Amino acid sequence: MHSMKKSLSLFIATVVLVSSVSTSGFAKEQPPTGATPKAFQVPATESFSLENGLKVTFIPYGKTPKTTIRLISTTGNIDDGELPWLADISYQMLRQGTKTESAKAIAERVASMGGQINSSVGMDVSWLGVDVLSEYGSDALTVIADMVLNPALSDTDLARIKTDQARNLNVQLSQPGNLANQAFYKAIYANHPYGSLYPTEASLKSIERADISGFVNENIRPNNSHLYISGVFNQAKLTATIKSVLSTWQKGESKPSKAVLSQSGPKLIMLERENSPQSTIRLGLATISPDHPDYMKLSMMNTLLGGAFSSRITSNIRESKGYTYSPYSALVNRIGTGLWYQAADITIESTGAALTEIFNEIALLAKEPPSADELAGIQNYLAGIFVLQNSSRSAVISQLSYVERYNLTEQYLQDYVKSVYEVTPEEISQMVKKYLTPENMVLVTVGDKEVLTPQLKAVEALEGYW
């Protein structure tokens, strides 16, 4: 009986407690207000140059006993010449072994150092690098130097890589987004290398070992390269190694820059994709490069207009109208120029309506500055992302290389967060009026022309495109 009373008492107490909770309700705890991101502190660096022109920068960073090494050269697809992807294949060939060591042996040796070799090819800048345990920094430098100075460049490796790249080319050109990109860049940059994204199958097959050797000898040279070393390391030991293995690297001739002459619209390019249930669009125009005084404001305008998940165009045509699943706008950086474009894969019958909404959002932002609250959200987002994305050894190297590529200074990085918060709503609106002029844009569509044509002709902003 005593036990029954005790159970009953507990039951009543529980009911009272639940009742109390359900009637009074706990106030939902709100997340704390985020603090304003602090300015990015550029790590202290030490630099020197070899007589052959190779720049070297040490960046002590963090406490993890690892060292990141990147040999960054100002070359890439801009130096492909008549053979698109020559830069990509050349950097892959550098990783296929040296005159004294196979690719497998190199990979195993670097793996025993706790790391692996990486490379990346861009339009203007490319790099070869490695990330290893700190005690192996000098050994890793020796490997990188051997790969650049004494590559094997065998016909067997080249044949295999070309076969892989041909397969890659077929896959890429089967995707409407890549077809749209190819036509879009070509329309704006014409015959400049910035306008050439893909090779033909024939040009890919025609690449010979002499082309690879020529690319490496002409474009991967000490006087257009910068060796960055970040993390934890023995600087004196690494300096001695650098002088020992890279001083004999012969400098090359300086190359003239390739002047960029962009083409403006209005221009409409429709690529046929019969019976496609959706259309793929690229809408945009040439703008400015990161060294332009307006670039920060333009970047923030893009984020607010279409460059973030909560941006205006995305909210409109994705969330409100349901025309498309993943629209986005972007700025593309090139030396001496840049691009803004809006991209989307749209339900085919909604393409005209979606384009009308995109042009409407551009016109609205040009006419009315955003509210202070809307801009504050973008400022917090950009400032926070900037600080977070710089918190690694490789990211710090990327940032320092970025300011060098676009002729900026480290002060740009130091002041980035401050600059973000100085932009005003009126300046956002001015950027739209100044740069996003619909009458100068290029529109590329990939889809069923018969379905698309009447829709596009009904879009008022496209009147001058026909």
Q: What is the pLDDT of residues 237-293, one digit of tens each?
A: 999 999 999 999 999 988 888 889 899 999 999 999 999 999 999 999 999 999 999
Question: E strand or H helix at 228, and its extent?
Answer: strand 225-231
Distance CA 96, CA 101 (A): 9
| pLDDT for position 205 | 95
* Residues with pLDDT less than 70, the chain: 1-35
Q: 67: which residues sit within 8 A by CB, 6+ positions away?
A: 131, 132, 133, 134, 136, 137, 140, 229, 230, 231, 232, 233, 393
| pLDDT for position 25 | 42
Tokens of 276: 């496609």
Torsion sign over Cα 215, 218, 224, 226: positive
Q: What is the pLDDT of residues 6-17, one digit of tens each?
A: 444 444 344 333
Q: 172: which residues sit within 8 A by CB, 6+ positions away?
A: 178, 198
Torsion sign over Cα 144, 148, 153, 159: positive
User: How many separate helices (H) and strands (E) can be counted in the chain?
Assistant: 18, 11
| pLDDT for position 108 | 95
| pLDDT for position 41 | 80
Which one, of 184, 209, 191, lies nearest residue 84 by Cα?
191
